Structure 1
C-alpha cells in the first residue's frame, strides 16, 4: 500500500479501498468502500468512484473541511467594523448561545430546509423562546448562509427559512384617567427623576434616550428636544475586564431615531422650572452623574405601585403618548418622525392603539347622521 492511500488487504484475502464519500450533518465523515481481488483492481475501482463523485459536484476541496461555526465567526468578523457595539453584542450572544451549539458542527453543503426547520422548532419548543426572538436568530442564520453561499458558487443549496408567526400582543396603554392620576403624582414634590418620566410621557422618547439626555439637548428658545444619543447596559466583550457588563452611551438605534422633537408649551414650562445651571447635566439627575436604564426602571416600578397602576412599564409611556396623539387627530407622518420610526407602518402597527374612549367617541359621531 502506497503512503497516503487507504487501501489494504483484508483477512479474507480481498483488497479494500476506502474513500471519503461525504459528510453527515454532524460533521462525521461518511466513507465509501471498493473491493477487489487484487490491489490494482481495488485501486481502479476507488479511482473511478472518486471521479464519479467529482463529476457529481461533491463538497469542493476549498473550505470543505470548515464547519458552519467557522463561517459564523468569519461572517461576524467581516461585519464587525460596520456593526454598532450593541449590535455586535447581540450577534455574538446569538451565535454563542443558540446558533453555534446547535448548527456549528454541520457542514454548510449538508444543510437543508428540514435542518433549519428543526433548529427553529428546538428554539421555540425546547428553549421556549418567543417567536420574535426566534425570528431574530433566524435572520442572523439567513445572513450567514448568504455569506457562506459566496464561498461555494454554483454548489450551495438554496435554503428556504420559514419565520415563526408573531402573535400581536395588545400593549398596555394608560387610560385618560390613569394618565391624569400618574401625571399628578409626578408633579407632586417633583424631582429630576419624576420630571424625566413626565417628559417621556409628554414626548414618547425611549428609556435609553431619556437616560442619555442632557440639558444642552433641550432648547427653550425653540421649544425642542434633540435626540442624538442613547444609553444601554451591554455585555463587556473584553475578556480582561472583571465586570461582565458596562454602560455605553452612543448613537440612537437607527438613523431615523436621531431627531428633533418639538415640545408643547406645557412641557417647555416644566423644563424652565427644572433647568439646572450646567448645560452638561443629565436631565434625570440634574448633575454630571447619569442614571442608568435599570435604575430608572426600578424607580418606575415604585411610582406605578404607589399610583395603583398594574402592568405598566416604561415603554407604556411611549405607547400612551402615541395613542393620545392619534386621539387628538395627529398627522401620522409627523407622529412617525417624532417617535423616530423608519416609516409610518411601524407607527400604525406597533404604537397606535385605539382606546375605548376614542372608539366610543367615534361611535357617538354616528348619532349626527341618525345612526
Structure 2
C-alpha cells in the first residue's frame, strides 16, 4: 500500500507506481495519469514533475524526465565563467556545491517556493551556524540562479527571497593610545613585515592588497602609492591536484579598489628607509621571488597584537582604525572614500567611520552656549 494520501504503490513486478489526477471529464469522471520508477523516490519525483507540468499548462510527455534545479545551477555557473574574476567564480562554485545544490538541487524549479527558501536560510543560520553575512551571500547567488531559471521557464512563479537582517555589531577600532602603543612596537626592531603592517595602518590597505604590493607600486617622486593587485588563497577546483588551494595575485576587490593613495611625509620617510635594491620586490619580504600570503600575515598579526596585549584585534581592524583617525582629523569624506577604494561615501560612512567617545564629546561641547 502507498503512504497515506500519496497514491504511490509497489507493484507485483517490483516497480513503483505513482498515480495523479490528470484531468476531469465533462461528466465529472476523473482521468488519472501514471508514473513508474524502479524505486519509491524515482516514482515520487516523476509524479511531482508531472503535476508541476500540469500546473504550468504543459503536459508531461511520455518518457520525459524532470530537469532539476541543480542542472540550472550548473548552467548558470558556466555562463559566469568568462564574465567574472577567477576568485569570484570559485566563490560561486563553492556556494553552489557546498550549500545550494545539496539542499535545493533535487527540487523541480516549479516547486520551489518562498517557504522552501526560508527553511533553507533558517537551516543555514541555526543548524549550520553560519554568519548572517555568509547566509546573505549564499541567498544572493541563489537569487541570481532563480532569475536565470525563471528566464528558461516563463511559466515558473517568481520566488521572493527574504534576507536575514544583520545585527549591528560594533567594529573593533584601536583607540589613539592603543594605536600609539602598536606603532611603537612595530618600529622597535622593525623588519620588512612590520614595515608593511605599519604601511597598511597608515594607508588603510586591505590584507590582500598589502600582501600583493610591490615597491614598483610606490612612486617616491610622485609621492603616491598605486593599488593595482590583491592576493588571496583559493581552491584550485581540480580534484586531481595534490594541493587543493593556490595563491592568486589578481585585480583588487572591485574597479573602485584600483586607486592612487597620496603619501604624507611620515610615510615617505619610512619608505626611503626601507626601499630595497630590487625594484619589483614585495613590500612584506623585500624580495621579488618571495611573498607573504594573507594567512601567514594574519598569524604575524596575532603574534604582534598579543605581544602588545591588544584584545580582539584582526588585520581589518587596522583599516577601520585608519578611517576613524581620518575622520577625527577632519578628513573630507569623499576623499576618504576614494582612498579606501569604496564605490560610494555611504559605504564609508556606514561601515568604516567610527566616532570615538572623545570626538562625540567635542561635538556635544559645540552645543554649549558661548555666553
Q: Please say whether Structure 1 and Structure 2 have the same fold, judged by a TM-score greater than 0.5.
A: yes
Q: Cα offset for 1:65?
A: 1.5
Provide structure 1 residue ranges, at least 5 long, that are not aligned to the other structure: 1-5, 7-15, 33-48
- Which residue, 46, 62, 66 being the options, matches 1:29? 46
The equivalent of 2:77 in structure 1 is 76
The answer (yes or no) to whether the contact 1:26–1:107 under 8 Å persists in 2 is no
Give the TM-score of the pair, scaled to structure 2: 0.85
1:233 and 2:250 aligned = no
The equivalent of 2:28 in structure 1 is none
Deviations 1:284-304 (A, max 9, x none): 011121011111111111111
Task: Evaluate the alpha carbon distance shift between residue 280 and residue 301 of structure 1 in structure 2; reply closer, same or farther with a 3 A threshold.
Answer: same
The answer (yes or no) to whether the contact 1:211–1:284 under 8 Å persists in 2 is yes
Give the TM-score of the pair, scaled to structure 1: 0.85
- Which of the pair has more CA radius of gyration? 1
1:246 and 2:254 aligned = no
Task: Evaluate the alpha carbon distance shift between residue 68 and residue 110 of structure 1 in structure 2; reply closer, same or farther with a 3 A threshold.
Answer: same
Deviations 1:175-218 (A, max 9, x none): 11111111111111111111101101100000000000000100
Q: Distance in 2 between matches of 1:139 and 1:362?
A: 39
The equivalent of 2:170 in structure 1 is 170
Q: Cα offset for 1:29?
A: 2.5
The equivalent of 1:104 in structure 2 is 105
Task: Evaluate the alpha carbon distance shift between residue 238 and residue 26 of structure 1 in structure 2; reply closer, same or farther with a 3 A threshold.
Answer: farther
Q: Distance in 1 between matches of 2:77 and 2:44?
A: 22
The equivalent of 1:186 in structure 2 is 186
The alignment of Structure 1 onto Structure 2 pairs a total of residues equal to 335
Deviations 1:149-192 (A, max 9, x none): 11112x01011110000012101101111111111111111111
Q: 1:106-185 maps to which residues of 2 (within 5 A)?
A: 106-153=107-154, 155-185=155-185
The answer (yes or no) to whether the contact 2:215–2:275 under 8 Å persists in 1 is yes
Q: Distance in 1 between matches of 2:312 and 2:111?
A: 47
Q: Cα offset for 1:128?
A: 1.2
Q: Distance in 1 between matches of 2:126 and 2:59?
A: 33
The answer (yes or no) to whether the contact 1:25–1:106 under 8 Å persists in 2 is no
1:343 and 2:364 aligned = no
Provide structure 2 residue ranges, at least 5 long, that are not aligned to the other structure: 1-16, 18-30
Q: Cα offset for 1:20?
A: 5.0
Once structures 1 and 2 are overlaid, which stretch shifts more, 330-339 or 63-72?
Answer: 63-72
Deviations 1:234-274 (A, max 9, x none): 11112221001111000001000000100111001100000
| Aligned-residue CA RMSD (Å) | 2.5
Deviations 1:19-45 (A, max 9, x none): 359xx999722289xxxxxxxxxxxxx
Q: SS at the partner of 2:135?
A: helix
Q: Distance in 2 between matches of 1:286 and 1:55?
A: 66
The equivalent of 1:67 in structure 2 is 68
Task: Evaluate the alpha carbon distance shift between residue 63 and residue 133 of structure 1 in structure 2; reply closer, same or farther with a 3 A threshold.
Answer: farther
The equivalent of 1:220 in structure 2 is 220
The answer (yes or no) to whether the contact 2:214–2:282 under 8 Å persists in 1 is yes
Q: Distance in 2 between matches of 1:215 and 1:119?
A: 47
